Each structure stands twice: as structure tokens, then as C-alpha cells.
Amino acid sequence: MSTSSYTVSGMTCGHCVGTVKSEIGKVAGVTAVDVDLATGKVTVTGTGPVDDTLIQNAVENAGYELTRS
């Protein structure tokens, strides 16, 4: 099990959080996604190392921007 943290910019409401969680949750190997709206911090837990590129693509598909934290 591994955990990675990111910062997502552009989220402004609970719907945004839900959209980001949903898209990241579709990435293979991801078992949990925790999003803090106030800070933009996203913590992703997976069965093994999480591919940063797949997480970035998921966030961009949701309409937001990801930076590694």
C-alpha cells in the first residue's frame, strides 16, 4: 500500500471535490481518495505505487490542475 499527496487548484465547492474524487477513484490501483477543499490537498492511497501521470490525467479530465506537493 502506498500514499501520495498532491495539490489541486480550481476547486471551489463540494461538487468540485466529488468530481475530483470520482475521477481519481477510477485510476487502476487507487483504493482511497481524500480531498481537503480548503487547502486543495488530495491524498491518494493505492495498492502499490500510484502513477503520477494517471492521477494528473484524471484531475485534468475533471477540469482542474494538479501540482505535486
Grid coordinates given for 55: 492521477
Specify the CATH number for the domain of residue 14. Answer: 3.30.70.100
| Exposure string over 19-55, b if 16+ CB within 10 A, otherwise e | bbbebbeebeebeebebeeeebebebebeeebeeebb
Range of the domain at 18: 2-68
State the pLDDT at residue 67.
82
Instruction: Name the pLDDT band for 69 (thresholds 50, 70, 90).
Output: low
Is 48 within 8 Å of 29 (Cβ atoms)? Answer: yes
Instruction: Name the pLDDT band for 68 (thresholds 50, 70, 90).
Output: low
| Span 12-67, pLDDT tens digits | 999 999 999 999 999 999 999 999 999 999 999 999 998 999 999 999 999 999 98
Count of domains observed in the chain: 1
